[in-house]
Structure formats: C-alpha cells, structure tokens
Structure 1
Amino acid sequence: MTSVDTTSADAEGVAVIFRRVLESADVAADSDFFLLGGDSLIATRVLSAVARTYGVELSFEDFVLAPTPAGLAELIASAG
C-alpha cells in the first residue's frame, strides 16, 4: 500500500465521497450521513473509499461517532 498524506484529508474531500456513495449533491461539511439517508451498508462503502483515498482504516464505530465529513476528516488527520 502506498503512503498517503492524511493531512490532505479535509471535510470537502470526505464530502465528495459522501456525495458519490449517496448519489446526492446536497452534502456539506456538517451533514450527518444517516440523516441524509445513509445506512450501515452504504457506510461500508464510505469507509472503503476513505481507506483507498487516505490510506486510513476507520471502524464502523468511528463512523457512527463522527458521521459528518468534518468529523471523519478530523479522525483521518489524527490517524496520520
């Protein structure tokens, strides 16, 4: 696996992932994934995309505790 600069993880980058998996353009940094219609199966797609994009493996529990692009970006940055 190649090394990825996790400092480049920002809320907008994670929001792009949310938009893609939710097929919705209406995602802001503070948008709650579950309130946007996401579920646990779709969340696994987000976690996979985060791992591919940023090289960081987050758990489903991490996702539930920080279900916004901004929250996940903070977790990604702190993992790096």
Structure 2
Amino acid sequence: MSPEHIVQIFRRVLKTTEVDEHSDFFELGGDSLLATRVLSAVARDFGIELVYDDLVENPTATELFDLVAVVAP
C-alpha cells in the first residue's frame, strides 16, 4: 500500500481526477458526509478504523497514509 491508494479513494469519493498526494481533501470540496465515505473505504481497504478528526488533522493523502501506516496492524 502507498499514498497513491489514498489518492484513489479521494478521487472516487470526490469524483475528480484533480487529486495528488499533497491535495487537501477539504480544499477539494470534501465535507463531513464525503469524509465518512473516505473513512469507510480506509476501514475496508486497510482494516483500520479512523475517526473524522483523523482526517481533519491529516487531510492529504500522504498525511492520512502516514497515520494509517503507524496504526495499522
């Protein structure tokens, strides 16, 4: 797994290809409802439960991946 996996999740959820590893999910139009979709996809794909604040504090694919890498089993 890599930050690119999170980029793909962001692209699916936001329905845009204008996402790279350093794009801010919320600056691209993400909101709390879309954030729940991201968190559900992360839970499914990485086997880890994150909360909304985790995405708020780590809004780029790179930051979120780094968090997942630290707490994933």
Aligned residue identity for 1:43? A
Q: Which has the higher contact order (CA 8 A, sep 6+)?
A: 1
Q: Which residue of 1 aligns with 2:20?
A: 28
Query: How many correspondences in the alignment?
Result: 72
Q: Which residue of 1 aligns with 2:38?
A: 46
Q: Aligned to 1:35, what secondary structure does the other structure show? A: coil
Is 1:17 the counterpart of 2:9 in the alignment? yes
Work out the CA distance in 1 between the residues paired with 2:35 and 2:42. Answer: 10
TM-score normalised to the size of structure 1? 0.87
Per-residue deviation, 1:23: 0.3
Taking every aligned residue pair, what percent have the same amino acid on both sides?
53
Work out the CA distance in 2 between the residues paired with 1:22 and 1:33. Answer: 8
Aligned residue identity for 1:76? V
TM-score normalised to the size of structure 2? 0.95
Work out the CA distance in 2 between the residues paired with 1:70 and 1:56. Answer: 16
Task: Name the Cα RMSD after superposition.
Answer: 0.6
Per-residue deviation, 1:55: 0.3
Aligned residue identity for 1:71? E
Structure 1 gaps, min length 5: 1-7
Moved >6 Å (runs of 4+): none
Greater Cα radius of gyration, structure 1 or 2: 1
